């Protein structure tokens, strides 16, 4: 598999439910970030977690990072219809300058 | 809130033509990037730029591509002779410093090569 693979590829939930997306990567990293992309639009930075951190919160977002398993998860609590979007993890490889290596993304659909 | 802007939002060009995509990064940012996203695929890194030179580039960024910061505000991506496979969404991004890895993306330019 390639650096940055998310699962599931698609997730459909009801408003108010929690959504969990997972990301796996293959190489050592400096940090991992999550971005949201509404259909056909730009990427919006959500949260960054550094390689020496295990968990981070921002509003309704909770991100975990397990460097031993090379994996991360993004939890969106109490989802809203406005959360409908694609979510991508992006890693900054250790030793890399600053380029981001994006995953394949999870398409989240939140129904009212 | 400061944001990255890109022009045009949509560019249609014929194969073999040159195109220039323009970006205005956030004003106090020092690092600039171009990424592309072919429809339905993942976002791919093209090039990073710092201190008026390319700091890193991907295999995609071949001799047909070039970047420039012609003045204190604009950052451009030029494709010299477009191919059908260059059709994609092109995103510009910027970040403040090496200690701050958050990259802020523009809304993208959709390039269609016919």
B33 interfacial to chain A (CB closer than 8 Å): yes
Torsion angle (degrees, nearest 10) of CA B34, A20, B39, B89: -30
Model confidence at A55, pLDDT cuts 50, 70, 90, reads very high
Pairing label, strands B109-113, B88-95: antiparallel
Over pLDDT 90: what percentage of chain A? 73
| Torsion over CA: B80, B84, B89, B94 (sign) | negative
Burial of residue B66 (number of CB atoms within 10 Å: 0-12, 13-18, 19+): middle
Mean pLDDT score of chain B: 93
The reported pLDDT for the residue numbered A8 is: 85
Q: Residue A16 belongs to what domain range?
A: 5-111
How many CB contacts within 8 angstroms connect chain A with chain B? 64
B61 interfacial to chain A (CB closer than 8 Å): no
Q: What is the topology classification, in CATH, of domain B5-113?
A: Immunoglobulin-like (2.60.40)
pLDDT digits 0-9 by tens, B6-48 = 999 999 999 999 999 999 999 889 999 999 999 888 899 999 9
Residue A68 is part of a domain; what is its CATH number? Answer: 2.60.40.10
Pairing label, strands B88-95, B31-37: antiparallel
**Shortest distance, CA A103 to any CA of chain B (angstroms):** 6
pLDDT digits 0-9 by tens, B57-109 = 999 999 999 999 988 789 999 999 999 999 999 999 999 876 567 899 999 99
């Amino acid at each position: 598999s390639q650096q940055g693979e998310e699962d599931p590829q698609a997730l459909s939930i009801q408003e108010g439910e929690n959504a969990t997306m997972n990301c796996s990567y293959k190489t050592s990293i400096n940090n991992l970030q999550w971005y949201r992309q509404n259909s056909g639009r730009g990427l919006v930075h959500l949260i960054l977690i550094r390689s020496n951190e295990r968990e981070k919160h921002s509003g309704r977002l909770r991100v975990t990072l397990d460097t031993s398993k090379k994996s991360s998860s993004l939890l969106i609590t109490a989802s809203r219809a406005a959360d409908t979007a694609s979510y991508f993890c992006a890693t900054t490889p250790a030793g890399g300058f600053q380029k981001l290596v994006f995953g394949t993304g999870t398409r989240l659909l939140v129904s009212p | 809130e400061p944001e990255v802007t890109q022009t045009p939002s949509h560019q249609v060009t014929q194969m073999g033509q040159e195109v220039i995509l323009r970006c205005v990064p956030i004003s106090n940012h020092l690092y600039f990037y171009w990424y592309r996203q072919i429809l339905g695929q993942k976002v791919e890194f093209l090039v990073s730029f710092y201190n008026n030179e390319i700091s890193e580039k991907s295999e995609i960024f071949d001799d047909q591509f070039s970047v420039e910061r012609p003045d204190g505000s604009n950052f451009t991506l030029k494709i010299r002779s477009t191919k059908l496979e260059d059709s994609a969404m092109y995103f510009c991004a910027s970040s403040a410093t090496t200690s701050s890895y958050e990259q802020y993306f523009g809304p993208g330019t959709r390039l269609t090569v016919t």
